[in-house]
Amino acid sequence: MTTDATTTAATTDPRRRVPRTDTVLADPAVAAAVQRLGRELVKRAVQVAQQRVRKGDLPPDDVVAAVLAGLPGTASSLSPVLNATGVLVHTNLGRAPLSGAAVAAVVAASGTTDVELDLGTGRRGPRGEGALSALLTAVPAAEAALVVNNCAAALALVATAFGGELVIARGELVEIGDGFRIPDLLVSTGARLREVGTTNRVSLTDYTDALGPGTGAVLKVHPSNFVVRGFTRSADVAELAPALAGTGVPLVVDVGSGLLRPHPLLPDEPDLQTTLADGADLVLCSGDKLLGGPQAGIVLGSAALVQRLRRHPLYRALRVDKTTLAALEATVRGPVPPVRQMLDADPAGLQARATAVAAALQARGIEAVAVASTARVGGGGAPEFELPSSAVALDPRFAEPLRHGDPPVVGHLDGDRTLLDLRSLLPADDERLITAVTEVARRWS
């Protein structure tokens, strides 16, 4: 090959024109991305773009644009998802979405905070006092409050701190999602279980006959995502509490979904205020279900028993961080959280939204129709209760590409159609839903 030919090949071969890594990283837009996402993540995107140039798939001058286009919005691998499943508290989608007030509180608490400092005296102060105060204001039947990292942690702390023998009805030894079994958790703490009654029937005397010198507590556990019907009998809190009075045995009730007070739509779902008013010594619940806040395990009730839990060594391993405390306080004190808005949504309003979304898609040449649907609470709450809802019905082929979109949209297949249920979305999400569906249809055209 002549010298001129060699020079020409070196000039035209794209592999010889791959921009240097440090040159790309020095570009102002890429450097800004490094500050936002971290050097290693951005450097990997640069290497991917460089490899595309070597293969001849990307012009060298387009490397910076390709790097920026290939970067995620955040340094986290988690993706925001539009929940169009009709399940309000969807465990696989992170359960309750936080309110704007809770998100702002998390951001404010992400730096250094006074989470355990009394700014007035400059001395150590009570941890998370604002969140605990908010809970006690919302549930006046409680004397004291404690927050740990989830409801299972609250139950484990109770079992460990009270120890001995735990009396529990056989029908409440439940298994919930992902193979998690309540009896396995309790036994793992070293506690012994005293099962009473049968699967479908338990009486007050079953409980009282089981009490003895080694009894640590009587537990009642909300059955969560199943219901036993027919020939059944149970002893409720209002019946159990007087029978245990004077025995020194605490009555601990895991109410599950985290309703602070009764809700007119869910008359059979236990709530914290009523359960304590009926005589429970402690109530436990999740923070990220119908309460509508962050993942947390909430303990409310007797001041003496809460203090006993707080002073137990295990509490240190289970307590929550400052951002959880901030989000929880903002959820309880702040505006109605998204899950409650979804639960309270007017069926006529949902129908109007579905009609509007379907019309917008039809205007873009997409076959869509508004249909009646059925939503559910989810998260183990009100397992048999159906919420009237409305959805947008699409061709079943939309289900998979919508999950891979930006943002991902998760609906559900119903026979020969994809349903996008609007009760599990806020009205502000409707335009993003329209855009996501339109983008999938555009890629097919």
Enumerate domains of the chain plus CATH numbers.
3-69 (no CATH), 82-90+341-444 (3.90.1150.110), 99-336 (3.40.640.10)
Question: What is the predicted pLDDT for the residue at 338?
Answer: 97
Question: What is the predicted pLDDT for the residue at 11?
Answer: 55
Whether 13 has a pLDDT exceeding 70, the answer reads no
Token pair, residue 28, equals: 């102002």
Cα(45)–Cα(381) distance, rounded to whole angstroms? 43
Cβ atoms within 10 Å of 7's Cβ, excluding its own: 11
Cα(284)–Cα(273) distance, rounded to whole angstroms? 11
Question: What is the predicted pLDDT for the residue at 256?
Answer: 83
For residue 8, name the pLDDT band (cuts at 50, 70, 90): low
For residue 231, name the pLDDT band (cuts at 50, 70, 90): confident
Whether 411 has a pLDDT exceeding 70, the answer reads yes
Whether 1 has a pLDDT exceeding 60, the answer reads no
Show Cβ contacts of residue 130 under 8 Å, excluding neighbours closer than 6 positions.
325, 329
Q: Are 421 and 90 in contact (CB under 8 A)?
A: no
For residue 199, name the pLDDT band (cuts at 50, 70, 90): confident
CA atoms within 13 A on the CB side of 30: 24
Question: What is the predicted pLDDT for the residue at 228?
Answer: 72
Percent of the chain with pLDDT over 90: 76
Question: What is the predicted pLDDT for the residue at 379?
Answer: 75
For residue 177, name the pLDDT band (cuts at 50, 70, 90): low
Question: What is the predicted pLDDT for the residue at 266?
Answer: 87
Mean pLDDT over all residues of the chain? Answer: 91
Return the minimum-mean-pLDDT range out of 66-70, 115-119, 176-180.
176-180
Taking the alpha carbons at both ends of the chain, their separation in whole angstroms is 48
How do residues 304-320 score in pLDDT, each as one tens digit?
999 999 999 999 999 99
Return the minimum-mean-pLDDT range out of 71-80, 121-130, 186-195, 336-345.
71-80
* Mean pLDDT to the nearest integer, 47-75: 90
* Mean pLDDT to the nearest integer, 225-234: 73
Question: What is the predicted pLDDT for the residue at 46?
Answer: 94
Question: What is the predicted pLDDT for the residue at 267?
Answer: 85
For residue 30, name the pLDDT band (cuts at 50, 70, 90): very high
Question: What is the predicted pLDDT for the residue at 12?
Answer: 60
How do residues 165-175 score in pLDDT, each as one tens digit?
999 999 888 77
Decide: residue 412, CB within 10 A, 0-12 exposed, 13-18 middle, 19+ buried.
middle
For residue 386, name the pLDDT band (cuts at 50, 70, 90): confident
Question: What is the predicted pLDDT for the residue at 384?
Answer: 67
Question: What is the predicted pLDDT for the residue at 72?
Answer: 85
pTM of the model: 0.88
Question: What is the predicted pLDDT for the residue at 230?
Answer: 72
Q: Are 290 and 158 in contact (CB under 8 A)?
A: no
Question: What is the predicted pLDDT for the residue at 3?
Answer: 53
Show Cβ contacts of residue 103 under 8 Å, excluding neighbours closer than 6 positions.
327
